[in-house]
Structure 1
Amino acid sequence: MEPPFYHVDRRGDLSVGDTLDINWDLTIYRADETHTVDSQYEGQVREDFQEGLSAHGSRYFHPFYEIDHNREYYLQYAYKRIPTPVSGSECQYLHVKNGINEWLAERTRRERFPKKHSRLQSYFAWPSGGVIDTFGDDNVPVYKVVPSDFELHDMSLLDSQKGIQEYWKGTLTAQPKLEIVMEGPVEVVDIC
């Protein structure tokens, strides 16, 4: 499988020639809102991910460390949304869903597959434009992108601990939901 791949940008502010790369912009983008993460774990994430985070990593780093520090509680209530403290807006917390899955995926990667790309430092795309039809939001812009490096994974495997191990191994199910896990810099080459 070769690039270009198809990337969805919820902000809608990318242009041809732009690049996506890790940084320390700890902003969560949601529809027409932006929120700056104000986490007590910022020092720890800066130590663990010295080069920075992707936009996905900015969304999920607080839930990752919150679960790590309060593992028993969150494993007992695995389907709760993880409150993430934010500043610069009317609300004090955003409730980030799928935090337990992202925690388990990153924890498994660190322990068993350390050479694989961290999801907290990656950007995501689909191998073809047609797959985006399943994304469920016609109002988000789609871009053709070319990453510096990438891995192909089946995101349908992210729902269980056994599945997450298979995800990192590169296993594909009979009807995979393919995602491209891209390492930056990722160049925007066209707007669809």
Structure 2
Amino acid sequence: MPFFYRVFRHPPGEDLSLTLALPEGTEPIYLPANWHTREDAAAVLAQRYPEGLSNHGRQYLFNRFYSINDQWGENYTSHIPLVELVFELTRLAQFPERRSRFAAFFGCETLEDAQRFRAERCNGQGIICLVSCEQYFRADMNSLSLGAGIPSAFVLSERYWRGEAGPNPFWEILMQGPVSILEQIDPAPRAK
């Protein structure tokens, strides 16, 4: 069985479960006024992700992305949810056999890559564990970009799902459960 390294931003194991349950006590799905109901959104998610969502999927599907209004009243928001949307729509249309990023667990091929990921993308926080799984897909996370416009976003998302390297690849492993935690390899650095 292949081995990988995973950075746990929360206690190990806490984020290795798939669920479609909506968080309770809050309004997790932000709705445009009178366009659809929470039930409509929940039904779409259940139909598209019958096995459930990972923490990554819940983060992008349920968290609110605040927008900024400019001096003319135009509304802007972070582009990162749009990157996830473009890549998911490309997967659904052209690579349906691939596991959705919204239902995958992420890892790195080497301890050095996991340490780099923790330093660059997790503010130096997190515990690195050795994990194992049977099914996985390898993709260049540096391709996760909208590029220079819509045609560029199409090219990058298709290359990502084909598993092709960009000019400076940083490989991520999209693991499909079950994922086994074998041991803690590298604790989070202590706060200074």
Q: TM-score under structure 2 normalisation?
A: 0.70
Q: Which has the larger radius of gyration?
A: 2
Task: Give CA deviations for 1:11-63 in whole Å, capped at 9, x if unaligned.
Answer: 1243xxx9934223556xxxxxxx96621322321222122111111112247
SS of the aligned residue for 1:38 comes to coil
Equivalent residue, structure 2, for 1:108: 90
Equivalent residue, structure 2, for 1:12: 11
Structure 1 unaligned segments of length 5 or more: list them. Answer: 28-34, 67-75, 82-96
- Give, in angstroms, the shift of residue 151 of structure 1: 0.7
Q: Aligned-residue CA RMSD in angstroms?
A: 2.7
Equivalent residue, structure 1, for 2:56: 56
Equivalent residue, structure 2, for 1:145: 131
Equivalent residue, structure 2, for 1:130: 112
1:99 correspondence with 2:96: no
SS of the aligned residue for 1:46 comes to helix
SS of the aligned residue for 1:50 comes to coil
Task: Give CA deviations for 1:76-108 in whole Å, capped at 9, x if unaligned.
Answer: 97x723xxxxxxxxxxxxxxx610111011000
1:158 correspondence with 2:140: no
Match of 1:23, as an amino acid? T
What is the count of residue pairs matched by the alignment? 154
Match of 2:77, as an amino acid? K
SS of the aligned residue for 2:144 comes to helix
Match of 1:56, as an amino acid? H
Moved over 6 A (4+): none
- Counting aligned pairs with the same residue, the percent is 26
> Distance between the aligned counterparts of 1:153 and 1:36, measured in 2?
34
Task: Give CA deviations for 1:129-155 in whole Å, capped at 9, x if unaligned.
Answer: 101232223331111111230011001
Task: Give CA deviations for 1:148-181 in whole Å, capped at 9, x if unaligned.
Answer: 3001100111113111110011111242110001
> Distance between the aligned counterparts of 1:52 and 1:46, measured in 2?
7
> Distance between the aligned counterparts of 2:95 and 2:27, measured in 1?
28
> Distance between the aligned counterparts of 1:172 and 1:109, measured in 2?
17
Match of 1:130, as an amino acid? E
SS of the aligned residue for 2:51 comes to coil
- Give, in angstroms, the shift of residue 188 of structure 1: 0.4
SS of the aligned residue for 1:20 comes to coil
> Distance between the aligned counterparts of 1:6 and 1:112, measured in 2?
29
1:80 correspondence with 2:73: no
- Indicate conservation of the 8 Å contact 1:20/1:186, yes or no: yes
- Give, in angstroms, the shift of residue 3 of structure 1: 2.6
Structure 2 unaligned segments of length 5 or more: list them. Answer: 30-37, 66-73, 147-152, 186-192
- Indicate conservation of the 8 Å contact 2:20/2:52, yes or no: yes
> Distance between the aligned counterparts of 1:149 and 1:139, measured in 2?
27
> Distance between the aligned counterparts of 1:9 and 1:21, measured in 2?
13
